[in-house]
Amino acid sequence: MATNEGHTQALGTSSEKGHTQPEKRVPLSVAPVDEAHARPAPRSDHAPYGPLPAGRWTPPTRYLSSLASVRLPERVPSLASRSTDLLSPRALAVLVLLAAAVQQMLPSPPVTCIGIDLGTTFSCVAVFEDGEIVVIPNRAGQSITPSVVFVPASNGSHAVEPFVGDSARPTAAEMPGTLLYDGKRFIGKQYDGARVLTESVGLPFDLTPEFSTTRQQLEARLKLTMGGQPLTFAGEHIGSMIVRELRQQAEAYVGRDIHKAVLAVPVGFNRKQINATREAAELAGLEVLRMIHEPTAAAMAYGLHTHADVSIVMVYDMGGGTLDVSLLYLNNGIFEVMAAAGDNRLGGQDFNLALLQHLVREVQRRLPEAEVEGDAEVMRVLREEAGCDLP
């Protein structure tokens, strides 16, 4: 009964004006509280927990003798330290493995953002899913999509829909129209008559200057004729069609609508070119969360930011339309561009065109009487030999 008396005394016997009040005993039953949250209260002589509040559940009398034999520590540690002190190293290891297994079993958060590389000749889209980067295949099952738009010829009776990506080139071989490509070379770039004259050689469309009210500068526009009427496209308009195609591929892959994206841009782009690329994504219905340089994206894709012994990295990007070389400095997991150089007319497509011109000269030298460039069938064969897919 000593244990009962000590427990009851903790509940409190008060004196007022020298008179002792009769002690108040708490019934050994569940008081009218939420049963879902009712649990055995700690011992009242546990100083950090304070006295046992009235109206709570109290342990039955037959358990008090066993509770009195429990040896309590002089100082009650925190919950975190108590959990580690009471568990053996093997039990902790089991708990860690169990938590990791449960985490693997939980479903991944839904994909709400995609990464887009809008290239000169090819583009691609990827998502971060289940801890891995997945490059989404297009309708043809390819990981890259041609940055090409085909605009069919119109007779004026009805509007025509352009063909984008893999369907553009086969359609251009079957029906009349204009194939638009190399839009990235002119996106957000200030118009230069001499340079545009050089870059427009061999293109199936014309380049015309037009003032951009957004960037307050003269820019090149891709010009074609449809139904007897001139039609112009800005570089960001061509880019928006390609980005929309990539967005549809991503939505079909993840099974939900996507409205956010991160875009990679060449390190040689100025602020106006970057803004024009952002506008292309916005025209496709995407909110651009961030623009990152292509060399930085490449370094992060290889996980170089996770290596402590890496501080300076040189990245070269041999693309279809440009060659970029960048020197990056890694500072606390953040890449800073120290130096960059590049040429937007020194990509894989330019190599193929140079090889095509060489083949034309060789055939013309061996067959002086033949008109090589005027023969469409001969030029088609030479393009295939040179690896040139574009007319």
Domain range annotation of the chain: 1-8+33-72, 79-106, 113-292, 350-386
Would you say the pTM of this structure is higher than 0.75? no
Catalytic: which of 166, 219, 279, 317? 317
pLDDT at 12 over 70: no
187 or 300: which leads in pLDDT: 187
223 is catalytic: no
Q: What is the pLDDT of residue 323?
A: 86
Residue 159 has pLDDT above 60, yes or no: yes
Compute the distance between CA of residue 124 and CA of residue 319 in angstroms, rounded to an integer. 13
- The confidence score (pLDDT) of residue 46 equals 41
Is the pLDDT at 100 greater than 70, yes or no? Answer: yes
Is 3.20.20.70 the CATH classification of the domain at 113-292?
Answer: no
Q: How many C-beta atoms surround the C-beta of residue 38 within 10 A?
A: 12
- Residue 108: what pLDDT? 62
Which of 57-66, 121-130, 338-347 is least confident?
57-66
Please say if 385 is a catalytic residue: no
Residue-level pLDDT at 58:
46
Backbone angles phi, psi at 84, to 5 degrees: -80, -30
pLDDT band of residue 55 (cuts 50, 70, 90) is very low
Q: What distance in Å separates the CA atoms of residue 324 and residue 51, rounded to the nearest whole number?
A: 73
pLDDT tens-place string over residues 323-333 = 888 998 988 77
**CA–CA dist 7, 25 (Å, integer):** 10
Q: State the Cα–Cα distance between residues 349 and 351, nearest whole angstrom.
A: 5
Q: How confident is the model at residue 200 (pLDDT cuts 50, 70, 90)?
A: confident
Q: What is the pLDDT of residue 132?
A: 81
Q: Using the structure block, give the residue that is written with the tokens 């996507």.
A: 258
317 labelled catalytic: yes
Residue 190 DSSP label: B
Cα separations in angstroms, 334 against 40, 303, 325, 327: 52, 12, 18, 13
199 in catalytic set: no
Q: Is the pLDDT of residue 105 over 80?
A: no
* DSSP notation for 58-120: ---HHHHHHHHT----SS---HHHHHHHHS-HHHHHHHHHHHHHHHHHSPPPPP-EEEEE--S
- Write the DSSP symbol of residue 24: P
> For position 26, what pLDDT does the model report?
42
One of 236, 279, 294, 324 is an active-site residue; which one?
Answer: 294
State the catalytic residue, choosing from 166, 182, 184, 245: 184
Secondary structure class of 327 (helix, strand, coil) = strand
Q: Which pLDDT does position 302 carry in this prediction?
A: 82
pLDDT tens digits for range 133-143: 899 999 889 99
Q: Per residue in 232-248, pLDDT tens?
A: 999 999 999 999 999 99
Contacts of 206 (CB under 8 A, 6+ apart): 200, 222, 223, 224
Confidence of residue 251 (pLDDT cuts 50, 70, 90): very high
Among candidate residues 117, 182, 219, 236, the one labeled active-site is: 117
